[in-house]
Amino acid sequence: MTNKILIVDDEQNNLDILNECLRNANFKVLIAKSGETALKQINYIKPDLILLDIMMPGIDGFETCKCLKKNETTKDIPIIFITAKTDAVDKIRGLEAGAVDYITKPFHLAEIITRINKHLTVSNLRKKLEIQNAQLQDYVYHLGSLATLGKAVNEAQDVNQMMDSAMKITLSIFDCDRAWLIYPCDPNATSWQVPIEATKTEFTGTNILNTDVPMEPEMSEIMQHTLLANGPIAFGPDYEHKIPSTVFKQFSTKSQLVMTIHSKVGKPWLFGLYQCSHARVWTETEFKLFRDFGHHIGVSLGFSISIEKLQKNEEQLSRTYYHGFIGASRSMRTIYQIIDNVATSKASILITGETGTGKEVCAEAIYKESRRADKPFLICNCAAIPENLIESHLFGHVKGAFTGAINEQKGLIHQANEGTLFLDEIGELPFTMQSTLLRFVQTKTFSKVGSHKLEKVDVRLICATNRDLMAEAKNRQFREDLYFRINTIEIKLPALRIRGHDILLLANFFLKKFTKEEDKDFQKFNTEANKKLLEYEWPGNVRQLQNTIHNSVVLNEGKIITDKMIIIRKTDEFQNTITTHPIPDIDSAITSSDIVIMNKFCSFKDIEKEIILKTIRYCSGNIIQAAKLLKISKSYIYKLKKQWK
């Protein structure tokens, strides 16, 4: 693009010399012989830089510069003074007026060209930075708006409350006059409804909430257009689609932005923003944000409708077993239905909940219910892999990428292509790795360690954590942009203590399992044992219950488990154990008597294996902590675990 230079000088000789020089340097030259003429020309053609003489009849260069800097459209144009005035006071005065440079006559043409190019470069960089800053602000606002919407719909108790909150937030964020949902969005239907609406008080319109409105040709046409579109459509005087007369008369609508919401339950919905006060021109940013709002509301709407149907239909709520889950409580049956709904989606899922609630079981259930059930399902425990190996473990490495990389290695991302990758304990992922994972989530492309070659894969990502990632993002302990990327849909698993008689269902399942494994004769729990199991709060959730039942089976004989056989460690912090003997503190040692009680005669390797495995359980799977407890290296544990497979 050719830059435009405006020369403002009353001396024809200077104009001729500068004009020829600048044209030879491939600039487009504009000429003004006075300050007044320059200020008039500015209204028609905006130059990229101005060469301004000081000594001119009428308005001199200083005043002309001040006027240009006061004008909103010209204040950012770089101005270079060219003058015979050489006093330092005049130079200071010129710079104070807003000029970026000061060249004294007689001048060298090469010097002028060099200075012009320097200031044009600076000006262009500043403009790029302003554009990037504006884009960044739009992105942050976009994420914040979606977070506000997500929080509102997640906290709602039912469909009506959720959609009412969604409409009010939409109305506020887009600062429009009315927001509403129309149902059904079916051009061939005989009628339609507005079940949810949010309207500013001065634009009440006709009250048609939950009323069947006869379908008119113009409304049918709007629905046809939106169903065929891939995103929002604008209606108004400045757009291809005009406001139907019936809509204008009934609701005083001057412009509108609409899109179809597919909730996967029933027919599509029509989501609309309406401006009544003026004919609004919607920005590209508003189009994108409205599209994302619609998609988010569509997913939440489908979930909420499905959950409410489940709550009303006891036959659907009768499941006790669901893949690896055991439980018939309402909270668990709700989880089953949510998994049914999200399994076929391509959205990233974040599974949250306390330790021991079954996050890995949930991930496997989603995988088995998905369209990828015949493809790979791989698991990565982010807490169990050393920080210096996690990138290679996920993305692979080429030969020679680092010391010890004797062969090329495919990472889990590559191995999970077309399938599902479960990232457990995502909150433990090193901060430096989070940006690398974010790039992959955004682009579905990655490079192996030591390579610049981009590879593209199709992987469904499921993450899990027992941390509050939103709080950690606010404290800059976890990347906020990564949090929003992996948390398209959140599934929060309930704690065992709120699941009621699921405790007994699980206890009986574990009793049968361990009775068979340990070759015992136990058949059931007595009444007192059941009462004891129900009254305890189980801070370690299902994992603690499992270990407690295993403990009871291993250390006792008979056909009935009594309350006295159930030994529950009641500490402030749950510690996994299957022995009635207290697990030692970190600074204590496991005594030989403990081993003899549990294993009367066995090899040293078997004893070593049992101690290490029990310690890993004690540390809730944290191998690094287990290594510290046993005072051995974590690499030694990893080596042994490979041998035990």
Tokens, residue 384: 């169990």
Tokens, residue 79: 């101005």
Handedness of CA 155, 159, 164, 167 (dihedral sign): positive
Helix (H, G, I), strand (E, B) or coil at 602: coil
With a cut of 50, say whether residue 575 has pLDDT above it. no
CA distance 389 to 241: 56
CA distance 141 to 293: 13
At 264, the pLDDT band (50, 70, 90 cuts) reads low
At 550, the pLDDT band (50, 70, 90 cuts) reads very high
Question: Which tens digits make up the pLDDT trace of 78-111?
Answer: 999 887 776 777 778 878 888 888 888 777 888 8
Where is average pLDDT lowest: 522-526, 535-539, 551-555, 606-610? 606-610
Neighbours of 357 (CB within 10 A): 23
At 578, the pLDDT band (50, 70, 90 cuts) reads very low
- What pLDDT score does 258 carry? 92
With a cut of 90, say whether residue 462 has pLDDT above it. yes
Q: Do domains 156-310 and 510-644 have the same CATH topology?
A: no
Where is average pLDDT lowest: 91-100, 216-225, 338-347, 496-505? 91-100
* Residues 6 or more apart whose Cβ sits within 8 Å of residue 626: 612, 615, 616, 618, 619, 634, 637
Where is average pLDDT lowest: 173-182, 236-245, 570-579? 570-579
Percentage of the chain lying above the pLDDT 70 cut? 87
At 312, the pLDDT band (50, 70, 90 cuts) reads low
- Amino acid identity of 260? T
Nearest CA to 235 among 294, 171, 282?
Answer: 282
Question: Helix, strand, coil: what percent of the chain each, to 5?
Answer: 45, 15, 40
Highest mean pLDDT among 133-147, 172-186, 418-432, 593-607: 418-432
The CATH code belonging to domain 510-644 is 1.10.8.60
Alpha-helical regions (H) of 526-631: 527-535, 541-555, 592-598, 604-618, 623-630
With a cut of 50, say whether residue 494 has pLDDT above it. yes
Burial (CB count within 10 angstroms: exposed 0-12, middle 13-18, buried 19+), residue 588: exposed
* Residues 6 or more apart whose Cβ sits within 8 Å of residue 295: 261
With a cut of 90, say whether residue 512 has pLDDT above it. yes
- What pLDDT score does 588 carry? 38
- What pLDDT score does 548 carry? 93
Tokens, residue 270: 């029509």
- What pLDDT score does 570 carry? 54
Tokens, residue 474: 């606010």
Question: Do the Cβ atoms of 470 and 413 come closer than 8 Å?
Answer: no
Q: Rounded to an integer, what is the distance from CA 354 to the centroid of its chain?
A: 21
Question: Do the Cβ atoms of 191 and 182 come closer than 8 Å?
Answer: no
Helix (H, G, I), strand (E, B) or coil at 533: helix
CA distance 547 to 460: 32
Whether CATH 3.40.50.2300 fits 4-126 = yes
Handedness of CA 517, 523, 525, 526 (dihedral sign): negative
CA distance 569 to 575: 8
Q: At the top level of CATH, which class does the domain 156-310 belong to?
A: alpha beta
With a cut of 70, say whether residue 315 has pLDDT above it. no
With a cut of 50, say whether residue 598 has pLDDT above it. no
User: Mean pLDDT across the chain, nearest whole number?
Assistant: 83
CA distance 12 to 20: 12
- What pLDDT score does 595 carry? 42
Percentage of the chain lying above the pLDDT 90 cut? 29
CA distance 64 to 46: 15
**DSSP 8-state secondary structure symbol assigned to residue 584:** P
Q: Is the peptide bond before 106 cis (omega within 30 degrees of 0)?
A: yes
Where is average pLDDT lowest: 31-40, 129-138, 343-352, 508-517? 129-138
Nearest CA to 432 among 369, 493, 390, 468?
Answer: 390
Domain ranges across the chain? 4-126, 156-310, 322-494, 510-644
Highest mean pLDDT among 123-137, 139-153, 368-382: 368-382
- What pLDDT score does 564 carry? 92
Whether CATH 3.40.50.10090 fits 322-494 = no
Question: Which tens digits make up the pLDDT trace of 210-230?
Answer: 788 888 888 888 889 888 888
Average pLDDT for 435-449: 90
Long-range contacts of 160-164 (CB under 8 A, 24+ apart): 160/195, 160/196, 162/300, 162/301, 162/304, 163/195, 163/196, 163/297, 163/301, 164/196, 164/198
Angstrom CA distances, 585 to 120, 504, 548, stand at 69, 31, 20
Average pLDDT for 489-515: 93
Beta bridge partners of 503: none
With a cut of 60, say whether residue 313 has pLDDT above it. no
